[in-house]
Amino acid sequence: MATRRFQVYDGDGELVATFREWEAAHSWAHRRATEAGTRIPVQVEDRVERRTWTIEADQCRLTVWRRHVEYGYCGRTEARPVAAGRKHVYVS
């Protein structure tokens, strides 16, 4: 079974479609951006290549994600280092 790696989101962050091929996702997203009631910008995400295309009816912009940096972990703290957190200040 092939992976549907291209995910399309409306401007409110709702997943609206997935595609196997970039061209199908790209064309569909441009059409979606022209539909009445669609919140723009529509975004196509490729989580494999770590890229997002931000799409409006007549243009699109490519954003390449930054390198992944780990700041801490959740789960068993004795197994993994945790970044130091802020100290809370209480005001009376």
pLDDT band at 92 (very low <50, low <70, confident <90, very high): very low
Mean pLDDT along residues 71-88: 61
Mean pLDDT, the chain, rounded, equals: 83
The structure's pTM equals 0.69
Q: Give the residue extent of every domain in the chain.
A: 1-92
> What confidence score (pLDDT) does residue 58 get?
86
Give the separation between CA 3 and CA 33, rounded to whole angstroms.
24
For the stretch 33-55, pLDDT in tens is 999 999 999 999 998 899 999 99
Place of tokens 């196509």: 44
Measured CA to CA in angstroms, residue 44 lies from 2, 68, 80, 81 at distances of: 18, 20, 34, 34
User: Would the pLDDT of 17 be above 90?
Assistant: yes
How many other CB atoms sit within 10 Å of the CB of residue 29?
26
